[in-house]
Amino acid sequence: AAAAAAAAAMPPKKKGANEETQVLGAGRFGRVRNNLRMGLVGLPNVGKSSLFNLFTEQSAAAENFPFCTIDPNEARCPVPDERFDYLCDKWKPPSKIPAYLHITDIAGLVKGAAEGAGLGNAFLSHIQAIDGIFHVVRAFDNDEVLHVDDSVDPVRDLETIQYELCQKDLEALEKEVKAEHDAVRRNPKLKITPLFTETMDKCKELLEANKPLRNNDWSGGAVALIKEKLHMLITTKPCIYLINVSEKDYLRKKNKWLGKIHQWMKEKGDSAMIPISVEFEEKMWDLKQANDEAGLKDLADAGALSSIGKAVKKGYHELNLIHFFTAGDKEVRAWTVYRGACAPQAAGVIHTDFERGFIKAETAAFDDFKALAKGASMAEVKAGGKYRQEGKSYVVQDGDIFLFKFNVTTAKK
């Protein structure tokens, strides 16, 4: 089983349809890497940059004017994890480093971006460079915040963005099909395979219908072909819709647009939607900054909880990322690795020498540690038979606690 999972983590090989579709998020079509990024995408003035500030606890230009965010803002925000907090509480080390989700704030798209409207083509190329999408949608009324189309209609806005992304993908698809046919004309020994024709025709059909490619029930062969020939596509990326509602709607858990948005998503095959209120989140952040414990308690008593952590965790999951822990008196740290990575690759995230000279990994699952350990020690875990030694083929599980053994004498020439 470990060997099979290890094979799944390697560069694409031909797989059966059932095996392929078990890989979720960016792992299905995207890059197999540890430093994948989510991008905040949406029309101007929907709350993207304000949300980005909240995500990353830093100030980016968030003025009420289209195109104020031209160069993408790069940042990272901690991934909430009670297991990490538990280990920190056990060891109480001076250094505590959580896992991070890397986020890019991309300037607002406008209608006609695929043809170069606004700063369209630059924005679309920025979207191509990220691995997953946080699509921020405005579902609040506020006369002080201009809407680029002069009225609030989230479904229209969703359709606008979806159309621009599909048009950009159609353009890339047509270029690739032309290049393939040109190559065959130049070399009679080459042939267009039925799989190529079927896959490209299906891609074109979906994109012309304004539907993303990520949700189609593709065969393993089609997935491998899309990854090889159409790696630049945008609509293969996982997408999470963040619906920005007013504080009032957020607290009462009702909004007139949510049902219509859900129906639109269902028609496109999407399902990941998180209602969020930038207005509420900024208020909560201000209370935290002011150390207003009474104000925060009032919100908590009213059942008003932040959705920032939920969005971050969902983005991390959609990118097919997990993390393992190292824990000791000096530091507790969560290390990000892609799902399916083997022990040596995980060791390499800490230092390349760890992977090169990998001998074995000593490990325990977090749940076993929590159930058995009485203090900052593995003694009870070992006594309970839950402390294991694993070799090169071991597939890292989310929440593993590792101690790596390695030996490096001289660097390879």
Integer CA distances (angstroms), 86 to 98, 214, 314, 316, 332, in order? 12, 36, 21, 20, 10
CB-based contacts of 112: which residues, under 8 Å, 6+ apart? 118, 120, 164
- pLDDT value at residue 1: 32
Report which residue type is found at 85: D
- pLDDT value at residue 186: 94
- What are the pLDDT digits (tens) for 276-317? 999 999 999 889 889 999 998 888 888 889 999 999 999 999
Q: Dihedral (C-alpha) 391, 393, 399, 404: value to the nearest 10 degrees?
A: 30
- What are the pLDDT digits (tens) for 150-201? 678 999 999 988 998 899 899 999 999 999 999 999 998 899 999 999 999 9
* pTM, 2 dp: 0.84
Asked if residue 144 has pLDDT above 60, the reply is no
Closest listed residue to residue 368, CA positions, set 86, 112, 36, 20: 86
Integer CA distances (angstroms), 328 to 88, 89, 285, 368, 378, in order? 9, 11, 32, 17, 10
Measure the CA–CA gap between 369 and 332, rounded to whole angstroms.
14
Q: Please report where in the chains the tokens 């299906």 appear, as a residue.
A: 202
Q: Dihedral (C-alpha) 321, 322, 326, 331: value to the nearest 10 degrees?
A: 60
- pLDDT value at residue 70: 40
Asked if residue 274 has pLDDT above 70, the reply is yes
| pLDDT tier at 10, thresholds 50, 70, 90 | very low
- What are the pLDDT digits (tens) for 316-348? 999 999 999 999 999 999 999 999 999 999 999
Asked if residue 61 has pLDDT above 90, the reply is no
- pLDDT value at residue 249: 94
Q: What is the DSSP string of 251-288?
A: HHT--TTHHHHHHHHHHHT---EEEE-HHHHHHHHHHH
Both tokens of 258, joined, read 């949510």
Asked if residue 124 has pLDDT above 90, the reply is no
- What are the pLDDT digits (tens) for 222-256? 999 999 999 889 999 999 999 999 999 999 999 99
- pLDDT value at residue 365: 97
Mean pLDDT across the chain: 84
Asked if residue 19 has pLDDT above 50, the reply is no
CB atoms within 10 A of CB 365: 17
Both tokens of 6, joined, read 């290890």
